[in-house]
Amino acid sequence: MFKKLLDRGDFIGIEGETFRTQVGEPSVKVTSLTVLSKAIRPLPAVKVDEDGNVHDAFTDPELRYRQRYVDLVVNPDVKKTFVARSTIIRKIREVFDAKGWMEVDTPVLQSIPGGAAARPFITHHNALDIPLYLRIANELYLKRLIVGGFDGVYEFSRNFRNEGMDRTHNPEFTVMELYVAYQDYHWMMETTENLFGELAQAVHGTTEIPLGEHTINFAPPYARVTMRDAILEHTGVDIDGLDEAGLRQACKAQGIETDDSMGRGKLIDELFGEKCEHHYIQPTFIMDYPTDMSPLTKVHRDKPGYTERFELMINGTEVANAYSELNDPLDQRARFEEQVKLADRGDDEAMFIDHDFLRALEYGMPPTSGIGIGIDRLVMMMTNQTSIQEVLFFPQMRPESFETSAGNADFSSLGVPEAWAEHLVAAGFTTPGDVLGAKPTQVHQRLNGFRKKNKLDVPALSLEEVTAWYSDAESPAS
RNA sequence: GACCUGGUAGCUCAGCUGGUUAGAGCAUCUCACUUUUAAUGAGAGGGUCCUGGGUUCGAGUCCCAGCCGGGUCACCA
């Protein structure tokens, strides 16, 4: 009897005594039942049998991402992924707060999009009448706070980059940046591997985590490989002692396309990106990047031409990027000027000069190590996902187009009785066109079914009545 | 941006070399049954075959263009 009035997706409230049925199923002897809310759209009917096989799964990626609410209701594993994401973020805060580092907020709207090399989203501030950029990174602001005397600051930063989208890139994404004074990148490597070990434990209770066909071992310590050794191992090219022309030659020999705007650093980066990166499945620190690829990084203490920088590679993807921060204002100014030269040469990713940031450094910044961790990618690694869309609730999609819905009055043009007009939208007919687009029998059945379920106090419709709407529609339309 | 691939019922999918009225399972509705662990039986309803052109006696199927996904690449240190 209730079954006739209730649908999948309805919310109900019940009162009654709990008991067990003869077969032992916990049950409630219901004495009163209230419909709390009514579903007027059917949920996909996903079923799981006793062997764990899923039948009629809701799997179309487009529908899943556009209607994540349905995905979450119907696919329990999806929910688990997002719970894991939350666990990871909470655990990072826990670990950092325990060390006395402070969570901070810095501007999302910036007049100079600094701290990384990427194409920004541009917007405009009316009152100041200036262009503003959505941040591509928050690095330079956190360093200003180190100048200001905080010894450890971190921020979960939503960054925006106006570039391509693919399995590992979404236009907005989250990076956790941490800066700690009086430390260097060796210390940061230890801090990172220890953190990741703890995160794996927090999510899975173990440090061995499946990822596609591999098992990733997050237990510290991680391998440390210099960029020179990585390239030497996978291409046989020794970048030490090769000048720009030599590197260009080496790239060509490896089948890598180059152009004249590429400087030495860019060429080395191409060699690594094309030939080496994908080999690093287990967590590996790639260390010591060439100076001209790393304009914000301190020069290496005993390797000229290199910087104290590392990236953490997992499953062939960059997950974190860290430095001994460049705190020499004169060197920093010179590096920015190099970037300007690259820009003049045609490199559209070269950094802008941030004069205020230079001024801050001139007041004195202690030696500091900083790291940026790609939270979305980290969550992918820890939840066995290969697409960033699976770890973002609402990944960016091209917008859907909806037909604009009509007011109730519009239905009267069809000759729909006034008492019925208000119910048509609720029954799923948003425009007169929706009604006319359906067959009279279909409309008749759906509306009367809707009336019965919701116990509407309006007269039932006859098929003749509904059919008449169609002929009425023809005369005013012509 | 380039190439590959897909879009058929609420969901998951068939649909051959172009051929009558486009099918199945689940979901929905009706009736029967009173049997819990996806799936009791019988019956019914439900389709802009993504959109628009074209070829053809005839298009879900072939061609062109477009829209929206997915994949690969480019781009993204």
Q: Average model confidence (pLDDT) for chain A?
A: 84
pLDDT at A405: 39
Distances (CA, A) of A78 to A127, A143, A408: 43, 37, 38
Summarize the confidence of residues A316-333 as an average pLDDT: 95
Residue for token pair 């967590």: A283
At A33, the pLDDT band (50, 70, 90 cuts) reads: confident
- Judged by DSSP in three states, A307 sits in strand
Rounded distance, CA A136 to CA A227, Å?
A: 25
For chain A, the maximum distance between any two Cα atoms, rounded to a whole number of angstroms, is: 91
Beta-bridged to residue A15, according to DSSP, are A32
- Smallest Cα–Cα separation from A379: which of A369, A389, A370? A389
Rounded distance, CA A426 to CA A59, Å?
A: 27
A284 has pLDDT over 70:
yes
Distances (CA, A) of A187 to A243, A310, A478: 32, 12, 79
Residue for token pair 């290969």: A386
A326 has pLDDT over 50:
yes
Summarize the confidence of residues A287-304 as an average pLDDT: 92
List protein-proximal bases of chain B (any atom < 7 A from a CB): 1, 6, 10-13, 25-30, 36-39, 45-48, 67-77
A63-90 pLDDT tens trace: 999 999 999 988 888 999 999 999 999 9
Which ipTM value was assigned to this complex? 0.84
A292 has pLDDT over 60:
yes
User: Closest residue to B6 by CA to C1' distance?
Assistant: A60
Contact yes or no for A74/A60 (Cβ under 8 A): no
Contact yes or no for A75/A59 (Cβ under 8 A): no
pLDDT at A473: 46
pLDDT at A244: 84
A227-254 pLDDT tens trace: 999 999 988 889 887 888 888 888 888 8
At A4, the pLDDT band (50, 70, 90 cuts) reads: low
For residue A311, how many other CB atoms are within 10 A of its CB?
Answer: 20
Burial string for A102-137 (b: 16+ CB within 10 Å, else e) reads: eeeebeeebebbbbbbeebeeeeeeeeeeebbbbbb
pLDDT at A345: 75
At A472, the pLDDT band (50, 70, 90 cuts) reads: very low
User: Closest residue to B46 by CA to C1' distance?
Assistant: A442
Rounded distance, CA A185 to CA A178, Å?
A: 12
Summarize the confidence of residues A13-34 as an average pLDDT: 77
pLDDT at A458: 59
Contact yes or no for A171/A153 (Cβ under 8 A): no
Rounded to whole angstroms, the distance from the CA of residue A420 to the C1' of nucleotide B46 is 22
* Amino acid, single-letter form, for residue A142: L
What percent of chain A has pLDDT above 90? 49
Rounded to whole angstroms, the distance from the CA of residue A58 to the C1' of nucleotide B24 is 18
At A48, the pLDDT band (50, 70, 90 cuts) reads: confident
Closest nucleotide relative to residue A20's CA, C1' based:
B36
In a 13 Å sphere around the CA of A326, the CA atoms on its Cβ side amount to: 26
